[in-house]
Every structure is written in C-alpha cells, then in structure tokens.
Amino acid sequence: MSLIVIGSVALDSVETPHGQREEILGGSASYFSTVASYFTKVKLVAVVGEDFPEEHVAFLKDRGVDLEGLRKSKGRTFRWKGRYGENLNEAQTLETQLNVLETFNPELPASYTDAPYVFLANIDPELQGKVLDQVKAPKFIACDTMNYWITGKPAALREILQRIDCLVVNDGEARQLSGETNITRAAKKIRAMGPKQVIIKRGEYGALVFGEETFAAPAFPLEEVKDPTGAGDSFAGGFMGYLASTGRNDHEAVRAAAVMGSVTASFAVEEFSLDRLKRLSRPDIDGRYEAFRRLVRF
C-alpha cells in the first residue's frame, strides 16, 4: 500500500569523531523516503530551493520515489549544521536555516490524497497538520519531531498529537515533551496526549515500543558508527515501509516493523549522509533482519 511522507530535504554540514562533511544530502524526508522505497511506493511532499543539486533529485527518482509533491521554490534549500561528540546518541545542533521551509505551503497532488499510510517526518508541525488536512482516509499515521519544534511550536505539536496513531521520537525528545525523566513514565504521559503508540529510540540501545503491550527492539551491534545523522528517519522509513508493504498495523506487525526499523537505521549510520543507503539492496536488508532473529532468540 502507498505511503506519503512530508519532511525536510536538506543540505547538512556534519561533524563526527570520524570526520567532517559540508553541504551533503540530508533531511528527514530524504532518509525516510530512500529507506521506505525498498519496501513500498513512497510519495514525497517537500520543498527545496533553486540551489538544490539536480543529482540528489535524480537519485530519489532512481529509487522510485514519487516526486510529484516535491516543490522547487525561489530561495535557498533548508540547511542544518550539527556535531556529535564521543556520545554519538546525541546531536548538537549548531545552526538551523529554514530558508524555503519558512514559506512552504504543502499542496498534495490528487494522486497522493488517498494514501493509507502517512508519515509526518520531522518538520514544522503546522506543515504536518496541513498535509493531514488533505489526506482523505488514512489508515495509520505516524509522526516524528525534535527539540526545535517541541520548544518552538508547542501548541501546533499538541494538536498533531491528537490526530496521529504513533509518535516516533528519541529519548531526549520524549523527556522534553513529557517533562518526565523516566522513559516508561514519559511514554505513558505522551500516550495520554493522543497517540495510542509511542516508539522511543535510544540510539545504540535500541528502541522501545509502548502500546497495548511493550516491545523492545535492540540496535544492531556495529563496530563503527561514522555518522548517526538520519538514524531516526531511517528507522521510521523501515518501520513504516514494512507496515505499508504488509497493509497491517496490528501489534504483531508493529513488532516486526520495529525490528525492520532497527535494521535500516543500522545501515544509515555506517557512512556519512545517505552514502550507505545508496548502495543498499533488499538482500542486504533481509540478511540483517535474519541476523536479528539470532541476536534476540533465547
């Protein structure tokens, strides 16, 4: 079943203990749609500026991502600059330039409006709301956000929480949103704000799914993490892509989808930008999924 995503398409400048890169392809929707394209038909809603390199558009097109909803506007592309220290689980934002995102008014192409699966990737919650207004009969809606929007647009974010099925955030964001330091209590408080399910990502410690029941998906143990940027979006891409490919959203399917999210996130962090995802194949994904079975069997 088809899946639509709204999010950022960005030029990132990133510094990690493994090196530094300037103006590389990034953005929540870029990671998400690339990963999800290995599972299902993905329809992208996003905006870039006139300075956005054509090769990145060509790459997404090659991946089979539907780009009818990708707008090119006058001005500069959204830019994010971040740094990771030895603790690779937490990004330090050095600079956020909204640029063309500031005036973006997403209008869904007619072919997008009956998508059953919707992912509201990290972007202004007001834009997330505008997209939701235009989807006719969504079956499953999941959403991501970050500190920038939790503090910058709290009212709009609260409204979104009442309209979604599942929130996917990292532990720092869950604590900030709920005001609770304990993760289990944080999840309970967030569920009381609207979403039936909350997935809390904990970097190298894996992800916890809080819903009717609680499920833990470990992170795949890697010897080297070069750049954690996009791990969350790649988790979400595997999670939603898998669910959309099965047409399900029951708890058993959500468990398998969370493991698939851990698998896809583990590839994203092996190299800078989307470099590893560009060389990914479905057998790579399925092979690591099987390795997960052995990892957690007891």
36 versus 146: smaller Cβ distance to ligand AMP = 146
Work out the end-to-end distance of the chain between its first and last CA atoms, rounded to an integer number of angstroms: 34
Joined together, the tokens standing for residue 79 give 């830019």
Joined together, the tokens standing for residue 34 give 């690339």
Tally of helices (H runs) and strands (E runs) in the chain = 11, 13
Identify the three-state secondary structure at position 235: helix
Which parts of the chain are beta strand (E)?
A: 3-6, 10-16, 19-26, 42-49, 66-73, 79-83, 92-97, 117-120, 140-143, 166-170, 197-201, 207-210, 214-217
Minimal distance, residue 212 CB to ligand AMP, in Å: 26
Q: Give the dihedral sign, CA 26/31/32/37.
A: positive
38 versus 116: smaller Cβ distance to ligand AMP = 38
42 versus 116: smaller Cβ distance to ligand AMP = 42
Residues 6 or more apart whose Cβ sits within 8 Å of residue 195: 143, 161, 164, 165, 166, 167
Instruction: Name the one residue in this structure whose structure tokens are 């394209």.
Output: 37
77 versus 116: smaller Cβ distance to ligand AMP = 77
116 versus 217: smaller Cβ distance to ligand AMP = 217
What residue ranges bind ligand AMP (CB under 6 A)?
8, 10, 12, 26-28, 80, 96, 122-123, 146, 148, 229-233
Q: Would you say how long the chain is, in residues?
A: 298
Minimal distance, residue 231 CB to ligand AMP, in Å: 5
Minimal distance, residue 28 CB to ligand AMP, in Å: 5
Instruction: Name the one residue in this structure whose structure tokens are 């029951």.
Output: 250
Minimal distance, residue 30 CB to ligand AMP, in Å: 7
The one-letter code for the residue type at 58 is: A
195 versus 228: smaller Cβ distance to ligand AMP = 228
43 versus 201: smaller Cβ distance to ligand AMP = 201
Alpha carbons within 13 angstroms on the beta-carbon side of residue 277 total: 34
Minimal distance, residue 148 CB to ligand AMP, in Å: 4
Instruction: Name the one residue in this structure whose structure tokens are 């009381």.
Output: 192
Nearest-CB residue for ligand AMP: 26
Angle at CA of residue 117, ends 113 and 122, nearest 5°: 95
34 versus 116: smaller Cβ distance to ligand AMP = 34
Minimal distance, residue 25 CB to ligand AMP, in Å: 8
Minimal distance, residue 285 CB to ligand AMP, in Å: 18
Minimal distance, residue 80 CB to ligand AMP, in Å: 4
200 within 8 A of 216, measured Cβ to Cβ: no
Joined together, the tokens standing for residue 266 give 């583990």
